[in-house]
Amino acid sequence: MHHQAICRRIKSLAGTAIALAFLATNSVATQHVAAAFGYAPALGSDVIRVPLLGRIYLPWEWLLWAVKWHSIPQLWPIWVTCLRTAIYPMALITPAAIAVIAIL
């Protein structure tokens, strides 16, 4: 394989890693909130229901819920947990992937 093709492939994989990490970390945060809230109807529609897993929501739903209920101080600890769940891994993955893209 030509060097440029290899570089393009690696850059593509690095970009994909960022996107997948974003989806994964935010999915975990969203499902955490949904479970903590007992999958209440106020959360809105789920995307799919999976046997043994329950209701699955879009990965970024926790952000929308946080905006919707930000004025309720009792819920702030859960939003902080979600931020940590979503942002800490991204703080490690993103710079590494960007460095790979920049170097190649």
What is the rounded average pLDDT of the residues 60-64?
A: 97
pLDDT at residue 35, rounded to an integer = 94
What is the tens place of the pLDDT at every residue in 25-35? 999 999 999 99
- What gap in Å lies between CA 103 and CA 28, rounded to an integer? 31
pTM: 0.83
Per-residue pLDDT averaged across 17-39, rounded?
Answer: 95
pLDDT, mean of residues 11-39 = 93
